[in-house]
Structures are given as structure tokens and as C-alpha cells.
Amino acid sequence: MLTVVVFLLILTILVLIHELGHFLVAKKFGIKVEEFGFGLPPRAFGIKRGETIYSINWLPIGGFVKLYGEDEAGGGKVSTKNHEPLTNDLKRAFFSRPIWQRALVVVAGVAMNFILAVVILSYIFTQGVPTATGIVKINEIVADSPAAKVELAKGDVIAKINGENVKTIRELQSKIQPKVEEEVVLTIQRKDETKEVAVKTKKEVIEGRTVGIIGVGLSDSVIKHYSIWEAPVAGITEAIVISWATISGLALMLWGWLILGQAPQGVAGPVGVAQLTGQVVQVGPIAVFSFAGLLSLNLAIFNILPIPAKIFLYLD
């Protein structure tokens, strides 16, 4: 039940924020807004303020904005040539507005989702995020392990293995794991002292693979808390990085599908997103916020794709 509630809440917030962007910019340009709805029809009740109905609908999923003349334009039923001179209402119809106004109305929804993602990511940065340090530090030594039998201690920094620099745990593991029951030489930094320690790895089976281990717990990052001044910059940067990664991944997927004939992999629909929501709910609130930010960026990207069709319809 909690998963369902969180899923519907995230979806509703993301869609309402998106529609709010369309609503605000349309109002700014004087485009007639017939209805701003919370949830999806059928309508439970509505209140009319001015020319706009603000409604609550029975299906609690997202929301919508109904712009006068948008459906007719999109369906090819109305053209500005059919109404000369235009009546006051038709002058305020979506399809009759200048192309730049239509563009801004459409892009406003995308912009609002991007802004929401930046706000969410900025909040997460204020709460603390893992930040790479560029050093691999020993936090724990397993009893009776190869590391416990040699001169290694908690707090030691592993700078090199067999003379090769290591800056991340992944790099260290890639060099140790292939050395099954073999000796490796670690260059250790301990305060102001640098020394070399030889240690023979122990054979271990991990996920069906036989690898070498030395029996240490490691860290290569620290939790960094950003100030309220630093967080927005970090949030914008992260949003841009995620957006670019999403666009690049989408382009590669389309290339593989359309050109190479490869079936798309890792694409999740509503059911898949709901399942992922259940997983992040179990992790905690920060994971839920992070997931919502990622979904907001994806909503922005996928909604910007059909923009040309919406903007350039009915140039006559």
C-alpha cells in the first residue's frame, strides 16, 4: 500500500508541475485556459474562477490543462484561414497564437520538470552525498585474513599495488581479484610514512567467480554536505549530467533498434516504474527524492520530443 501511495504521489506531483508550466505561460500570453484539473476525468467537482474551471477528478493520477483551440489544432479541425476576421475567442485560441508563444507554452512544462529536478537534487546535496576522495583507505581488517597477518592497519591508505597507482576501490579490486593465491605488493601511506607490504591473497568464490581477496573493508569517498549556496550549483550541474546521459542512452537505444535491429533493453513502463518505486521506498526518503528527481528529468526529456509537431502545426 505504501508503494502505491508513494508512486501515485510522485506521479501526480510531476505531472501537475508539468501542467502548471503550460498553465502559467498560457495565462501570461492571454491564451484562454478552459480547465486546470487535478487527477483525470471523470470530474468529481469543479469551481469556475473567471473563464477557467479548476476541477478535482476521480482518477488520482496526475492532472491536465485544457487550452482553448489546442485539441482542434492538434486534430487538424481548425485553421486560422477558416475565420477571417478572427473573433475575440479565436484570437485567444492556442492554434491562432504566434509560433513563439506556442513554443514557450509547450516548453514551459519541460522547464518546470527540469526546475523541479534541480530543486530535489539541490535538497539531496544539502543532506550529504558520497564524494570521491581519490584515495583508497582501509576502514576494517577481517580477522584471520591475509591482511590481518601482515603490517596493515585501519586508516592506512593504499596508494599503489605492484607499483601501479590506485584511486578507487574498483581499480584496486580489478588488480587484486585476478591474483588468486598470489603475492601482491601494496604501497601503504600511514601518516607521514610510506612503506611497501607484501600480502598473499586468499581464494574466495564470489557470485560464481573464483577471485583473490586480502580481507579488508575499504572506502574511497566521504559524505559531503553542501551549503544552501553550493547546493543549487551542484543540483543544476547534476541535472545537466543526468539529462545528457539519458539523451545519449536514448539515442543509442534508437540507433540499435532502428539501424541494427536490436530490441530495446532496460525500458520500464508504468508497471516497471511502480516496481522501482517499491524498491526505493525500502531504501529510505533520500532514495525516494532522488528517484523523483530522475523521473522528473525523464518526463522533461520525453515530453520535449514531440514539440515540433505541436509548435509548427497550422502555420497558415
152 and 207 share a domain?
A: yes
pLDDT at 236: 96
Query: What is each CA distance from 312 to 85, 163, 307, in whole angstroms?
Result: 22, 62, 9
Mean pLDDT for the stretch of residues 9-33: 93
245 and 114 share a domain?
A: yes
136 and 73 share a domain?
A: no
In this prediction, residue 316 has a pLDDT band, given cuts at 50, 70 and 90, of very low
In this prediction, residue 61 has a pLDDT band, given cuts at 50, 70 and 90, of confident
Domain C-terminal end among 158, 189, 224? 224
pLDDT in tens, 68-115: 987 654 444 445 454 454 556 788 888 888 889 998 998 999 999 999
| Three-state secondary structure call for residue 61 | strand
Domain C-terminal end among 224, 249, 282? 224
Give how many domains the chain has, as a whole number.
Answer: 2
68 and 166 share a domain?
A: no
Mean pLDDT for the stretch of residues 189-203: 91
Judge contact between 8 and 61, C-beta under 8 A. yes
Higher pLDDT, 87 or 279: 279
pLDDT at 8: 86
Higher pLDDT, 173 or 72: 173
Query: What is each CA distance from 1 to 4, 12, 15, 274, 276, in whole angstroms?
Result: 5, 16, 21, 12, 14
Whole-number Å distance between alpha carbons of 247 and 266: 15
Judge contact between 93 and 29, C-beta under 8 A. no
Residue 167 has pLDDT above 50, yes or no: yes
Whole-number mean pLDDT of the chain? Answer: 85
Residue 138 DSSP code: E
Whole-number Å distance between alpha carbons of 282 and 154: 32
302 and 200 share a domain?
A: no
Domain C-terminal end among 224, 257, 287? 224
Alpha helices in the chain (DSSP H): 2-28, 70-75, 88-91, 99-127, 169-176, 230-258, 270-283, 285-304, 307-312
pLDDT at 297: 92
pLDDT in tens, 234-266: 999 999 999 998 888 877 777 776 776 665 565
205 and 181 share a domain?
A: yes
What is the domain extent for residue 269? Answer: 2-128+226-312
pLDDT at 266: 56
24 and 134 share a domain?
A: no
In this prediction, residue 192 has a pLDDT band, given cuts at 50, 70 and 90, of confident
Query: The domain that contains 205 carries what CATH number?
Result: 2.30.42.10
Judge contact between 202 and 146, C-beta under 8 A. yes
99 and 239 share a domain?
A: yes
Mean pLDDT for the stretch of residues 64-70: 89
Whole-number Å distance between alpha carbons of 250 and 154: 44
Alpha helices in 188-268 (DSSP H): 230-258
208 and 247 share a domain?
A: no
Q: Looking at the DSSP assignment, which residues form a beta bridge with residue 203? A: 212
Residue 145 has pLDDT above 70, yes or no: yes
55 and 196 share a domain?
A: no
pLDDT at 259: 72
**CB contact set of 298 (below 8 Å; sequence gap of 6+):** 246
Q: What's the predicted TM-score (pTM) here?
A: 0.76
Residue 280 has pLDDT above 90, yes or no: no
pLDDT at 294: 92
**CB contact set of 231 (below 8 Å; sequence gap of 6+):** 122, 123, 125, 126
238 and 274 share a domain?
A: yes
